[in-house]
Amino acid sequence: MKKISVRQCGMIIVMCIFANKILLMPSLMYQQTSADSIFVLITLFLLDFVMLPIFIKLKESYPDKKLYDILKDKLGVVITKIIYIAMLCFFFFKCLLVFSVTYVYFKQQIYQDEFIFMALIAFLPVINHAVISGVRAFSRTIELFFGVVIAGFIVCLVISLFTPISTPDFFISSGKEFFSALYNHIFAFGDFIILFLIMDRIEIKKGQAKRLYFYSIFAMILVVILFYLFYAKYQITAFMHNNALADLLVFSVQFNAIGRLDIIAMLTIMFITLFQMEIFNYAFCDCFVNIFPLLNKNYSIVVFDILFCILYYVFIGRYETMVTSALFWLPYLAIVINYLLPIVLLVILIIRRRKIEKKDKNLV
């Protein structure tokens, strides 16, 4: 079995944490809760973060078992398949959303008059190839480019410091607004779920689990800093800027002579989007293969591509509809995947531990 290291796994997590949060979300959130969105973000991150210890415990208890097998043993085939179908949809829409947001950004910035399928013909084969090559190959690819991506991200953040910024206005929104924002943006979170799907592929040696915490916290801090700087720079007009990471680079008048530096953000976003799509496509295919064990990976890729092209074509004209559905309909799905599934797994873990304790007592 081709396994991946904890380091590579951490990098996959970092890419997932960046997914859907670094372009459109800051401005979407600002419309609801203004600068207090940072607290919404932190709260959602904390809720997410609970999943990590659950994952590590689960991995310790079942070192080489697939999530599907664990669930099948405990909950039966039907429920497991239902959960997997939910996950399949979850990852599919995540992938679609990631791609659409990036595509709209590119369309605005660099591909004004180009053909709609141009981005698809460039991206889809690459992510499909990555999925066929397997999790080890694409996690190695992420590993190779990780430095570039993080450097690009940090450069965007640092350059924004050269322009005037002031502390964002906190504590403006009401509790109701806060909670509704919390609910609306759940879909963009749940980044640790991917870990459960590839748990049999990860090799965690003793004492290495803390590295996963490190990578997750690192990525979360970067996103929080991005939010903070974005709000600090744009303040009240944050809602007008839909591409947070790139907009951070747009200079104020004083720096106009330097020229456009947003190519740094552009390249960073391209890499990040590709990697995120690879991960989500892989997750989709993994779910698909488990739901339909008779069909192999190639079928899952074909299904993914066809669905993706159709939905992309339908939705891209109604980008607003897509974003709205991500805010209002998909959170239902996200609640199931992000929070119910980990709770179920936690219960499984607790029951297992009790059983073991009982056994130990009996033995004594």
Partner 1 sequence: MSYFNVKEKIEEIKNTLNNSVDFSYRLYKKGSQVLGFIFLKSIIDQSLFSSAVYFPLQMYDGKITIENLKNDILKCVDIKEAKEKDMISEILDGKLIIITNFSIKILSIDLLKFPTRTPSEPPTSPVIQGPREGFVEDLQTNVTLLRRRLKTQNLVMEVLRVGSQTQTKVCITYIKGIANKKIVKQVREKIKNIKIDGILDSYNILFYLENRPGSLFKQIGNTEKPDIVTSKLLEGKVAILVDNSPIVLTVPFIFIEDLQNSNDYYTNHHYSSFVRVIRLFGLLIALIAPGFYLALQLYHYNILPLNFLITIADTTQGLPFTPFLEILFIFLLFQILYEVSLRLPSYLGLATSVVGALILGDTGVKAGLISPPGVIIVALSKIALYTIPEQAPQITVLQLVFIILGGSLGLIGLISGLVYIVNYLNNFDSFSTPYLAPYSPRIPQDLKDAVFMDPIYSMRQRPKSFSPESKERV
Partner 2 sequence: MKRKIKILFKMPMIIVFIIILLFFTPFAIYSPGENRNRGVVTALGIDRVEDEYEISLLTFIPTANQSYQEKSSVISGKGSSVAEAIYNAQIAMGRSVGLAHAKTTVVNEKLLEEDVAASIDYLSRVASLPENTVFVCTNKTAKEMLENSQDLVNDLGLKLEQVIGYNANNLYVTDTSLEAFYKGYFSPTKSSLIGYLTIEDEENKSNENSEISSPQNSGSDQNQGTQSSGGSGATNGNPSHIVNQGQAVLLKSGKKVAVLNIDQLNGINILNPKSVNQIITVDGIEKNGQTISLQYKIKTKKTLVSSKFENGYPIYIAQLVLGVELVEVDGVEDSLKVNTEFSEVTKEIAEKIELQIKRQFTDSINILRECNTDVLGIARQFFFHNRKEFMKFLDGIGGEEAVDKFIDYVTFKLNMVVQPD
State in angstroms the smallest separation of the CB of 274 from partner 1: 5
Q: How far is the CB of 140 from partner 1 (least distance, A)?
A: 4
CA 273 to each of CA 277, 295, 340: distance values in angstroms, whole numbers, following the listed order: 6, 28, 27
Is residue 267 within the footprint of partner 1 (CB under 8 A)? yes
Tell me: does residue 278 bind partner 2 (CB under 8 A).
no
Near partner 1 in 129-168, by CB under 8 A:
129-130, 133-134, 136-138, 140-141, 143-145
Within 10 angstroms of residue 87's Cβ, the number of other Cβ atoms is: 26
The stretch among 46-54, 105-113, 179-187, 281-289 that binds partner 2 (CB under 8 A) is 105-113
Q: State the CB neighbour count (10 A cutoff) for residue 29.
A: 27
Q: Which stretch binds partner 2 (CB under 8 A): 181-189, 245-253, 271-279, 308-316?
A: 245-253
Smallest distance from the beta carbon of 107 to partner 1, in angstroms?
11
**4 backbone dihedrals φ, ψ, rounded to 5°:** -115, 155
- In the list 133, 180, 235, 325, the residue contacting partner 2 (rule: CB under 8 A) is 235
Q: Is 270 in the site for partner 1 (CB under 8 A)?
A: yes
Rounded to an integer, what distance in angstroms lies between the CA atom of residue 164 and that of residue 233?
A: 7
Q: Is residue 112 part of the contact set for partner 2 (CB under 8 A)?
A: yes
Tell me which of partner 2, partner 1, none is bound by residue 362, counting a contact when its beta carbon lies within the kind-specific cut-off of 5 to 8 angstroms: none
Min dist CB 144 to partner 1, Å, is: 4
The yes or no reply on residue 260 touching partner 2 (CB under 8 A) is yes
What is the smallest separation between the CB atom of 288 and partner 1, expressed in angstroms?
A: 21
Beta bridge partners of 4: 202
Q: In angstroms, rounded to a whole number, what is the distance separating the alpha carbons of residues 9 and 132?
A: 18
Closest CA to 197 of 8, 9, 5: 9
**Residue 155 CA: distances (Å) to CA of 172, 220, 271:** 30, 17, 15
Q: Which does 130 bind (CB under 5 to 8 A by kind): partner 2, partner 1, none?
A: partner 1
Helix (H) and strand (E) counts for the chain? Answer: 17, 0
CB of 360 to partner 2, least distance (A): 54
| 135-138 contacts, C-beta under 8 A, 24 or more apart | 135/2, 135/4, 135/198, 135/201, 135/282, 136/2, 136/3, 136/4, 136/201, 138/275, 138/278, 138/279, 138/282
Tell me whether residue 177 or residue 203 sits nearer to partner 1 (CB atom).
203
Q: Are 236 and 39 in contact (CB under 8 A)?
A: no
How far apart (Å, rounded) are the C-alpha atoms in residues 347 and 343? 6
Total chain residues near partner 2 (CB under 8 A): 28
| Chain positions contacting partner 1, by CB under 8 A | 5, 7-8, 106, 109-111, 114, 118-119, 121-123, 125-126, 129-130, 133-134, 136-138, 140-141, 143-145, 258-260, 262-263, 266-267, 270-271, 274-275
| Chain positions contacting partner 2, by CB under 8 A | 108-109, 112-113, 115, 118, 121, 125, 128-129, 164, 169, 234-237, 240-241, 247, 250-257, 260
